[in-house]
Structure 1
Amino acid sequence: MSSEVKAQDTHTKGVHETEMEDKPVEEETVKQLKEEEEEEEEEDEEALPHSEFLDIFEEGLALIVQDPLLCDLPIQVTLEEVNSQVALEYGQAMTVRVCKADGEVMPIVVVQSATVLDLKKAIRRYMELKQQREGGIKHISWRYVWRTFHLVFNGERLEDDKKKLKDYGVRNRDEVTFLKKLRKK
């Protein structure tokens, strides 16, 4: 009987020791999980709110815009404006100065092979960006604008939207003006 008791004690001790060995492993796993949760919480705390991220981004963008090639661009620059400025530097685009009746001159950037329609679209984009930045008029009816005004270069109206600007003789830094159409009676 003593051998049976010893065997049972050994068996009990073996089970008990196995349970004891499992507890530290479980405790370590629980500790690891808690540490991972704490790390995730710290990472969440380190994550920036959207407004702070935008502020940091705009500061970085302001540094980029200080580059001599990009210094003409506004602080709230768009990708399209950066691309057009780079295209200007590489000679792939040209600046057409569009003069309004009130004396304002708009520097419009278009590709070298631009058509009259491309110029009109570029004028529209320029005006929309300007209004967003300055908070001007909410909506312009471009159908009305093109129905009541001509674009004129050296006395010649740019009427054919499909014709290239170069065919009219428009080159880099040339001035095109808005001219009110005369009514036919």
Structure 2
Amino acid sequence: MEDIAEVADTLSHDDLLEITKSSLVNLLRTDSLLSDLPSDIILEEIISLIAVEHGQSISIYIARDDEPPLKVIVPQNATVRELKKAIARHFEIYQQRTGSKVKISWKYIWRTYNLSFDSFTLDDNDSCIGNYGISNKDTLSYKKKRKKTQNIVCKLFI
């Protein structure tokens, strides 16, 4: 133990960070239970995964056109509004991992699209997702909102 302390005193902070990161990457890669975790996992994701394992949260997949599905973890009693916030947060983490700098206007997304599940549209933000029959490992998709047509009455004056 004293040898480790002596070596640690001779290394810089950056060197110690690099050694720690590489050790964690090797640990995650070699452990059969942890091998599917990303090497740059954050504490928020770890807490979410533990909640799924304890049955407190569920994993939902969001299907996207020409893109891999996005895995989102939400509490079992989450509302549609909380689900939308979780999608935005998970997509932000996904963008950080891929190095994408594209700015997403979630206000525009939710104004233009609804989430749908088994031909049900999740259009009530205050409704619980369980009311729509959504359970663990279900897949949701985006569905374009229909424009509201206005009835225009034309009167002809002769």
Look up the match of 1:160: 124
Give the Å deviation of 1:63: 4.2
- Pairing of 1:5-154 with structure 2 (within 5 A): 46-49=10-13, 51-66=14-29, 67-102=31-66, 104-154=68-118
Runs of 4+ that moved beyond 4 A: 42-45
Look up the match of 1:7: none
Q: Pick the structure with more strand per residue.
A: 2
Could you say if the C-alpha distance between residues 56 and 181 of structure 1 is closer, same or farther in structure 2, counting changes exceeding 3 Å? same
- Normalised to the residue count of structure 2, the TM-score between the two structures is 0.79
Could you say if the C-alpha distance between residues 119 and 46 of structure 1 is closer, same or farther in structure 2, counting changes exceeding 3 Å? same
The gaps in structure 1 that reach 5 residues or longer are: 1-41
Q: Does the 8 Å contact 2:56/2:75 carry over to 1?
A: yes
- Normalised to the residue count of structure 1, the TM-score between the two structures is 0.69
Q: Does the 8 Å contact 1:70/1:82 carry over to 2?
A: no
Distance in 1 of aligned mates of 2:25 and 2:129: 34
Could you say if the C-alpha distance between residues 79 and 45 of structure 1 is closer, same or farther in structure 2, counting changes exceeding 3 Å? closer
User: How many residues are matched?
Assistant: 143
Could you say if the C-alpha distance between residues 45 and 86 of structure 1 is closer, same or farther in structure 2, counting changes exceeding 3 Å? closer
Cα RMSD (Å): 2.2
**Higher Cα radius of gyration:** 1
Report the AA paired with residue 163 of structure 1: S
Q: Does the 8 Å contact 1:73/1:81 carry over to 2?
A: no
- The structure 1 residue matched to 2:136, chosen from 156, 159, 172, is 172
Give the Å deviation of 1:64: 4.6
Identity of aligned residues (%): 37
The gaps in structure 2 that reach 5 residues or longer are: 1-5, 150-158
Q: Does the 8 Å contact 1:99/1:106 carry over to 2?
A: yes
Give the Å deviation of 1:43: 9.8
Q: Does the 8 Å contact 1:70/1:85 carry over to 2?
A: no
Task: String of CA shifts for 1:92-125, please: whole Å, max 9, x gaps.
Answer: 1111111113353111111111111121111111
Give the Å deviation of 1:84: 1.1
Distance in 2 of aligned mates of 1:122 and 1:170: 15
